[in-house]
Amino acid sequence: MRPHLSDLLAAAHVVTLPMRLRFRGVTEREAVLIQGPRGWAEWAPFPEYDDRDAARWLAAAVELGWGEVPPPVRAEVGVNATVPALAAARVESVLARYDLAADPARRTAKVKVAEKGQVLADDVARVTEVRRVLGPLARIRVDANGAWSVDEAVEALTALAPLHLEYAEQPCTAVEELAELRVRLARAGVDVPVAADESIRRAEDPLRVAREHAADLVVVKVAPLGGVARALEIVDACGLPAVVSSALDTSVGLAAGVRLAAALPQLDHDCGLGTAALLAADVVPDPLLPLAGTLTTDRADAARQAVDPGRLTAYRSSAEREAWWRQRLTRAHALL
């Protein structure tokens, strides 16, 4: 069902939420919360994304608020901690915000690397500290957001490999670069699997990664791919193991991510759905934070129905930003 634009605009609430730490260059997260007949949905494409990207995010919100979400095949989803590109000395305090699994072998952390203005030594120090804090059995993955060239990625992953990485997420930007990187890592004896994120969620052809053998696994996100059902189709067509991640969502958006992870036929990796810990405020009284390294579909569904009107008012965006988002919503709706 495609709701009328007037219904979307009437049901939309634009909020600006403060971040605990700078993440992805963001210190405040803007989002639009939309109440549909089937519950609350979130629409929050990053401001730099074009209208076509924004329309896919809107399709995901419409699915959640007006449509049917595929049923789960599991009730519980493992979740990784997320460590921004900060100084190694701050790693322990960040990890302390996560209720990680008691069993060290079940702990997982994703570490941001390749931050502009930093050097490889900063990344090695940060990941080394994560390994120290979480222990030798924990699973650690790094995410470069496509910032490295192939040569830089080979150098960096060779330096980081002794820390026993689970995988490297989007080390380079282009699909052909990822394919070349996998070959060069294999020839060098560097055992670090490659995961594709932006090459899936922002690509005109998300299946190209699989066709060109450019990744060992794929990272999928509900909103950028146009909804839970569409994400499941892409994972099935790729034929690669999948990890579900968030797009720096509120608890409403994270709830959709949990439903995608719970609906995947196979899920072998913990998911990046613990990013509510990066927000200093949320739109629900009880943010969707993992307990003992897991989230459940019951908690996710409850969070999506628990949006607090008082918080929507307290964190309402400025009139200027609200007008910007409503104009953007109008353009994205026309592209549905």
Q: Catalytic one among 112, 182, 230, 269?
A: 112
Among 13, 139, 221, 304, the active-site one is 221
Task: Please count the other Cβ atoms lying within 10 Å of the Cβ belonging to residue 325.
Answer: 21
Q: Is 112 annotated as catalytic?
A: yes
CA distances from 300 to 26, 72, 247, 273, 287 (A): 25, 12, 16, 11, 10
116 is catalytic: no
Residues with Cβ within 8 Å of residue 107, at least 6 apart in sequence: 81, 100, 101, 134, 135, 137, 138, 139, 293
Q: Can you read off the two tokens belonging to residue 112?
A: 């941001």
Instruction: Give the burial class of 24: count Cβ atoms within 10 A of its Cβ; 0-12 exposed, 13-18 middle, 19 or more buried.
Output: middle
Give the DSSP letter string of 119-130: -HHHHHHHHHHH
d(C-alpha 279, C-alpha 9), whole Å? 25
Residues annotated as part of the active site: 112, 221
